Amino acid sequence: MWRLCPVFIISVVFLTAVCVFCSPCGQHEYLTDQHTCCPMCNPGFHVVSHCSELNHTTCEPCPESSFTDELSGLLQCRPCAVCDPGLRVRRPCNSTSDTLCKPLESTDTPKQEEKLSVGVLVALILLGIFCLVLVYCCLVFVCGHDSALAYCVTLCELISNI
């Protein structure tokens, strides 16, 4: 079981690299069904017609209750979220951002937002460290260093037990 861990991570890294570096289109372009690279629409807009040799991509603003929050080649904007029961709208949806919901009993004090931000930051840092350790383990495993391999095996066994 532990031998699959490094193989899986290396496969994911390789496939990600293939997707990023082998795309025929530029960073701000999308690939159409006709294998043409067209310029993306700005946030708040969606594609009405793809580009051609003579025309640029035609974009239209997102209709009400929909949005796009990044450059895209989407033919339709994403629908705005509706807050679940027990939640209320903190920030309404607009053409460039989705609805942001919060609990009904929540008060908007800076300390609560600060605690949430610190918690998210700590989680992201821990996730980053975890990923670095796994990448290190995989590289060491491939290079064949036995002492670090034992640590990688232990780490992978712990992960598989979660």
Mean pLDDT of 116-145: 65
For residue 110, tell me if it sits in a domain: no
pLDDT at residue 50 greater than cutoff 60: yes
Report the CATH number at residue 36.
2.10.50.10
For residue 9, tell me if it sits in a domain: yes
For residue 107, tell me if it sits in a domain: no
| Predicted local confidence at residue 59, as pLDDT | 97
Choose between 21 and 82: higher pLDDT. 82
Closest to 78 measured CA to CA, from 92, 65, 60, 61? 65
How far is Cα 123 from Cα 86, in angstroms, rounded to an integer? 26
| Predicted local confidence at residue 144, as pLDDT | 47
| Predicted local confidence at residue 133, as pLDDT | 67
Task: Judge if 39 and 76 occupy the same domain.
Answer: yes
pLDDT at residue 71 greater than cutoff 80: yes
- What is the share, in percent, of the chain residues with pLDDT greater than 90? 46
| Predicted local confidence at residue 154, as pLDDT | 59
Task: Judge if 38 and 21 occupy the same domain.
Answer: no
Residues 132, 13, 70, CA angle at the centre, nearest 5°?
A: 95
Task: Judge if 91 and 42 occupy the same domain.
Answer: yes
For residue 114, tell me if it sits in a domain: no
Provide the token pair at 43.
């946030």
The tally of domains found in the chain comes to 2
| pLDDT tens-digit series, residues 2-48 | 444 555 555 555 545 444 455 689 999 999 998 899 999 999 999 99
Closest to 5 measured CA to CA, from 122, 131, 101, 112? 131
pLDDT classification of 121: cutoffs 50, 70, 90: confident
SS3 category, 38: strand
